[in-house]
Amino acid sequence: MARVALINENARPDLGDLVVRIRGERGGRLLNIFQMLLHSPALAAAWLEQVSAVRWKTELDGRLRELVILRVGALNRSDYVFKAHVPAYTAKEGLSLEQCRAVADWRDSAFFAARERAALAYTDAMTRDVQVPAAVFDALRAHFSERQIVELTVLIGTYNMHTRVLEALEIDPNA
């Protein structure tokens, strides 16, 4: 159970326009994370814009995006991410359940191409250590444009924020 009450949209008609916007961008759903964020409408709106931008408005391909999101979730011990993304988003990007599970131990897996491995190593460095070693960054440059590196960096940072909020407030994934 969440540490902060989830806002019931029916009890807050003043949030109607924002709820419609969230539902419009989230496939008609008002996820628990947004029900919690509705305590602060400005933060809920900003969160929606940020998450929508990093997921849908970049040059990063969907498979890579989902692998990185799953890796951040695994590193930050956030079951929410796995439950929310697998298979709802990952299957659409061609990832099997076995591949999704392999993200937890990606270095020992044969599932991932060099480009994905570079992104996963970057995800590990950003999430675990914050500072990224030159060798990890140089490996990234071999596979990504500067724009894509910025987009990947912000994706990783956004999902680190996302998972930390989810875990601190014990937000359960929607059933």
Query: What is the model's pTM?
Result: 0.94
Round to whole Å and give the CA distance between 126 and 133.
Answer: 10
Asked whether residue 147 falls in the same domain as residue 88, the answer is: yes
> 150 and 130, same structural domain?
yes
In a domain, 93, yes or no: yes
Q: Are residues 43 and 96 in the same domain?
A: no
Q: Which domain holds residue 136?
A: 62-168
Is 1 contained in some domain?
A: no
Could you report the per-residue pLDDT of 25-81, keeping only the tens digit for each? Answer: 988 999 999 999 999 999 999 999 999 999 999 999 999 999 999 999 999 999 999
What was the pLDDT predicted at 71? 98
Q: Please tell me the total count of domains within the chain.
A: 2
